[in-house]
A and B are shown apart, each in its own frame.
Chain A
Amino acid sequence: MADDQVVNANAAEEVQSHAAGVVVWDVPSAIVAGERFRVNVGVKCASECRLATSRIGIYDQAGARLASATLPEGVWPGTSGLYAAEVELTAPGDEGLFTWSVRAPEGDAAGPHAEGSTTFGVRVVRQPDHQITVEAVDGETQAPLADARVVMHPYHATTDARGVAQLRVAKGSYRLFVSQTRYITVGVSVDVTGDVTTKAELFLEPVLERN
């Protein structure tokens, strides 16, 4: 910052704006039409400027402003200078994959920063019809596998201590994956026409021979 301030004082007309990077995360993979959901939005100045109190704006696929937020004090844990805010949004009423955008920092608080932007996908689904219950076990020992990931795109879930995960999904055809660290991923095709309860046996992935 010190160097940049000197430049500002001596040659204001040649000031180069600081680039701002924008990231969006924890976007739910499937959002029921019309429901509220939350995402995290972070902004990073390339020169690691303090961006607390800067404004961010969120826009839909047509460019309409949906929400705004003010970045709070303090950088996001694990980052060197990312200022982030949680933003609550409302999903569209129709099913589909929508591309929304974030612009930040906006307005006067932006200071010498060029506005940054990014896009993110919002997958809107209809009200789920059926419940899928998956029990993940070690194929050798039959011991339950906790924290196994169960994915039926776009639905995601994680197994509990009993090795069980539940997802509510819409009727349709899916690829059901169950994966866990160091195990071979199980993938099966399923047609969902009613509630499903299934057991997935996972086997340890052979360790690559190093010879």
Chain B
Amino acid sequence: MARKRDIDQKNRKTRGAKAVSRRDFVKSGAAAGVGSAATVLSSSGTALAQGVSPADAVRWDYEADVVIIGGGCTGLPAAIRARDLGASVIVVDQNFDLGGKMLHSGGQVSFGGNDPLQHRDIRGERDPEGFVTVGRLHSVEELTEDPDFLFRDHTDWSVMDAAAQAPYRYNERDLHRAYADNCGPTREFLMKNYVRFGRVSGTHGNGGMSRARRAVTFLMEGPTTDIKKGTITAKDAGIRGVSSSHFAPRFMENGAKVVGPGARVNGAALSRGLEFAAREKGVRFILNRHMDEIIREQPFSGRVVGIRASYSPRLHPQTGQRLESLWQNGNVDERRQTIHIRARKAIVIGSGGHGNNPQFRSMFYPAWREPAFVSSGWAMLGPRGQDASGIIAGMRVGANLAGMHQNLSYGSTFHFPGTLATRDPYTDMLPGHPTFPFRGSTGILLQPSQFQHLIAVNQVGKRFHNEILVTIREGGAAFPAAPSKGQPNAGMAHKPLDWRNASIENVRKTYAEPNSVHAALAMNEGSQAPDYFSGPIWAIFDRAAVERDKWNINPPFTSPTNGFFFSADTIEELAAKIQKGHEFQRVPLRYLAETVKKWNAYVDQGSDPEFGRGPDAPMYRIEKPPFYAASLYPVWHDSYGGLRINGRAQVIDMQGQPIPGLYAGGEASGGGNQHGLGRALVHGYIAGTHAASEPTGTR
């Protein structure tokens, strides 16, 4: 161990000295990787001679230089990058299709640090294909920076958001130094791999306070869906309120403001572009395959040498047919229950976060042990998506964790998106994507003011908060700064690293978090030992609300059979139907009738002494049959906290040493609080770079 630690110290110094230049950084990082891994191989040689390595007993079914766990926002760029550098690559993914959460994301990518897109806008240039027809959206000053500036922005101790959380101060320094150095190269890399970006427009959550860095990915509406040409049919891009597609599980929004007329934007443009590039370049994919174990030479020492993975097909809930990926080239149709895949050089964990693992996420917040609530994209990703399996597998071979508390530092980590009548209230999927039958309903999407037409109750039928505030959340401090986001100064007047940003006076002035989600998750009379689940949340409303505010409560927005929407002639009957028909309704809603009666009395009085409704919006009785109950679920949107990685995306063990050959990024990693796609893409790019440079193992 002493030798390894000494070598790591030496490498760290090397990296620190070369960190200013991105080109130098990549070179030195790769060189350090070779030295470090060679040393470990010699030490593991001793173990091999003693014949005690569990890895020796494995019979490998497949092998590749680099094995990547998860074909999403970290895994796809890592795969392409490693392939570009000459490595053979196998990607395993537990789902039937590629893209992970990236596929259903908004496609917003914040980089910065003098990235090529900032340059393009500064120079007033268009994209090479001429799709971007709108002009620059920010001043030259708002787009001008360098990696040092970005690094400082991402590690600014002083920034507070309107929920009095500090989104940047806990970020891992080494990780964010490398992030800042690699943002530009990653943007360039993506654009060479069929990813098109619109104009830079603001900055995405926790992407830094001081400069504009975000651009959204797009395709242009055209007669065919053709990644090379950059076009998509209107049908594939989605028809609002009617259908999604296999290509894009969520409706692709109009990108006229940031691209030009005819642009359709969201993460499908990013995800399908990268997937197309990876398939074209010869990456192999073993889909329907869940990684269960990472195999290391010794349980806590030596290189990682491969993985064990089990068959995890997605079967259509009605027909029982296996779901198939949109594109097939490069797929390996492997259906054995268990296989082992050898990684000659490296393993990259890009398996996503812990948002769908109640046990794991409860390390951070016990109320989130409630299994009813899921991670965004739950139907699309399946029950094993975002299950923390990559993090857990890393822990089993000795990895450390980082940044679990950073789940708190972004306002959308968990929240109420405001969509009723569906289990995943974040993903507004319409029929057309193969996984729609798993959710059964799109959901009724309400804006905050529309909550004036309902009351929200917990599992025993009691209200818990002012309904108008239920979907309100604060956080996501990013450029441009504003008092509404918790900063004392707006826009370019923001002063980085200024103590006044974190002053008591500023927090008092700007705090605006209603904490409604915590009230929803609180224990109640139906919570029982030992887990004290808070249970489902229900929106209760009547026929008059539906007519008054013109809600579409018909399929596909609701489902008569999925247990997330009920109607009844009386409130008592409604309570009984919920208990009978909803999987997570463990106790009777015994207060519901009384709650509605009380609410109607408050409406008659014109005030709500319990939760302060009245001054903010009109109140309406819930009286006209039929009566409705629609689930009002919170969602775990994305997770922060995971495997500790260094600036080369190497997974770090409990002693602070890299685990040889093991890389991770995106939501499987911790210590980086940036929301969205940026961090995962950069981690993937860095991991792919260094994974390809690892020495070839002997096992």
Contact = CB atoms under 8 A, between A and B. Distances in A.
Interface of A: 19, 21-27, 42, 44, 46, 76, 78-82, 97, 99, 118-121, 123, 149, 151, 153-154, 156, 175, 177, 179, 181-185, 187, 205, 207-211
A208 B204 contact: no
Contacts of B600: 120-121
A97 B549 contact: no
Q: Which 7 A-B pairs have the closest CB atoms?
A: A21-B570, A121-B604, A211-B106, A151-B618, A153-B606, A25-B624, A82-B569
Interface residues on B, range: 35 or more
Contacts of A27: 621, 623
A42 B573 CA distance: 14
Interface stretch (B236-244, B255-263, B444-452, B457-465): B444-452
B569 A81 contact: yes
Contacts of A44: 569-570, 573
Interface in B541-594: 542-544, 548-550, 568-573
24 contacts: A23-B569, A23-B623, A24-B623, A25-B623, A25-B624, A76-B625, A78-B543, A79-B626, A121-B604, A149-B618, A151-B618, A153-B618, A175-B615, A179-B617, A179-B618, A181-B549, A182-B450, A185-B449, A185-B616, A205-B449, A209-B106, A210-B426, A210-B428, A211-B205
Secondary structure at the B interface, as helix, strand, loop or mixed, is loop
A45 to B, nearest CB: 10
Contacts of A79: 569, 625-626
Contacts of A23: 569-571, 623, 625
Contacts, number: 112
> Which of B412, B544, B569 has the most CB atoms of chain A within a 10 A radius of its CB?
B569
Nearest to A20: B570
B657 interface: no
Contact of B625 (A42, A179, A182): A42
A211 B415 CA distance: 13
A157 B616 CA distance: 18
A207 to B, nearest CB: 7
A193 B616 CA distance: 23
Contacts of A154: 604, 606
Interface of B: 105-106, 108, 204-205, 250, 412, 417-418, 426, 428, 447-450, 452, 471, 542-544, 548-550, 568-573, 597, 600-601, 604-606, 614-619, 621, 623-626, 675-676
> Which of B544, B549, B597 has the most CB atoms of chain A within a 10 A radius of its CB?
B549
Contacts of B624: 25-26
Contacts of A46: 572-573
Contact of A187 (B428, B471, B606, B615): B615
A210 B519 CA distance: 23
> Which of B417, B426, B570, B606 has the most CB atoms of chain A within a 10 A radius of its CB?
B570
Contacts of B108: 211
Contacts of A156: 618
Nearest to B568: A80
A185 B452 contact: yes
Contact of B675 (A21, A153, A208, A211): A211
Contacts of A205: 447-449
A119 B623 contact: no
A21 to B, nearest CB: 3
A119 to B, nearest CB: 7
A185 B605 contact: no
Nearest to B597: A119
Contacts of B623: 23-27, 120
Contacts of B205: 211
Contacts of A208: 417-418, 447-448, 471
Contacts of A26: 623-624
B620 to A, nearest CB: 9
B625 A82 contact: yes
Nearest to B606: A153
A34 to B, nearest CB: 19
